[in-house]
Chain A
């Protein structure tokens, strides 16, 4: 097994939690975000699609969902920035017998709202949502979504049938939005009891009916923290925005080389700013023309501009997956992304200039940014 290095973050540091196909890494830098130290690999050999930082109520807890091809998936946490990890007796996220399903992968770990000290959510494959109300000690399947009558018609995408996005409405404790590939988005307004599809305006290029009620392959949705009714959506063909909490979605693929892609990030305070990484075609799924370009909008999608300074523009056939982009909460905001070729890039000035933070990592599948307060 490889030697694991640890970082020692301090108050005021920025963390990057990087999940790869062969383990997890933790990077730290001070607020300048110029120099990064890297810790890991943690869980070498396991794919880590889901990671999260829970800094609520004085915690410094990192969550990870390593999935071993052989031994299955487990949810584990560390209160000392990766030096030690919990090792549950049995899988803590597990389907009840009545569900007649087995956990394949943990895709998303989301701490609850600031008012919900011990609440966490977890999106998994096969597509399901789990909830914990005891700080992750125990987890329960959200039955309302699992028993949805449309679930038997959901289809797996390239990454399996996964629930990969969980968005908690900060102004309404009963409203949660999830995104599933391939089922589209579902929303609850009664804290998970009942769910309805919420895909109006989002097309499904691969179906006979291009605008079905459900069945879209939503790749990622990012919600503004300061204007939560606004969200940006990167679809499997299609780039969208909503200004009405997801009731309707409008096409904003204006001036991008492709409206196909996976990742999308939104500015921490300015709801007009977002970032994407367009990819070419459905089959190729690499950056167009061998140029690694992050596209940024500063007017909610009316225009997108390529941000390329510091990024390779020749022979760069990169793929940035749905969870492999993150935005921190600082001013100016830091933007980070990882590629399937194991490169990690970051910008501490909202995309004007980029630096390569790491190379030679295993294929990056998730990047999360956090501020240690």
Chain B
């Protein structure tokens, strides 16, 4: 430390005088400089498109997990097997605190595709970290089962919030960093992860920068110490939420599935497409569910309930049309015949009126979960069992690999193109008949379903599928 003599003061005054006399940018100029800087992408965590791997504090690892949460439900969904943009910065997730491990998804969130990030001050159990699975329920179950008393796990899920809806009420606007003081004790459906040695389970919900954020905090003890809470808070302080771009709603914007195939001039009566789709990992397995029913209520040539078939993956969910919906887990659905104005695709829900066929489409492909494929899928059923569908929905669940091939062939009532609606490419034109086939990449058929404008529908599934 220097001496505060008169000589020192003389030098200090001179330096301060010089410093104060130097010009500085104006507030507007500084704002302009900051604006320019903020247009540059930030490198937070690198996106990984394949597999899990352990994260060390210095490098956050990207994985793809799937969990939706609608009214507190954990929901599996699936991920686009894009394999692209491996170096694209990811702005949703945790920056790990020293001594913490982080696993996080690299996928972009949509209304049906949450992004998940998990941070723990203990090493992740191999089951949770190293199984090479991109999709999960978002619950690091094995890690939680073995969590020691001073262990902490924080799970964050991000969903694009979309336009305001009733769901928004669950997510009050909050500023970063989120405060654990706003968290509340929570167990989903009253279920404890580890009843014999209870965990401290808390939930904090927030609406941040265009995302609905669910923050689930697990402590190794029901009564976490102040040190544990502070440690968790420090990690939560490093939760990153890059503002979502204010883009026009995509679900009402029309665009072709593939430009070269669906320009208006190339609109066709026949839709025939083979795709490769991701399935969702829920409850320890990847699975699909094929479902459908025959048509009922035909009046003046229009079906109030057209014949319908779908193949979906993951758990079902409920919610308004602006959020995770009952249909968002569908890989595809097909109907046949002309739907009436009030026809809906979903009827067991009190919200069925929201799923009008003329809005959601008579035929739809999930472009978020499925990509075009050049593989061949035979349209004739092989080694399947099943038959005609009745008026009530029948469904069958099948174990499936992580990716399946799907072929959709439909004869339409007039030339049409598929247009974008939410995460689907869909048409609202009436379909005369349609076939939907699911098979593994090895060629084993899992499900085969058809619908006809006469109202008939049939569903055949592999022998190891079970009615659900």
A and B from one complex: no
Chain B interface residues (CB < 8 Å from chain A): none
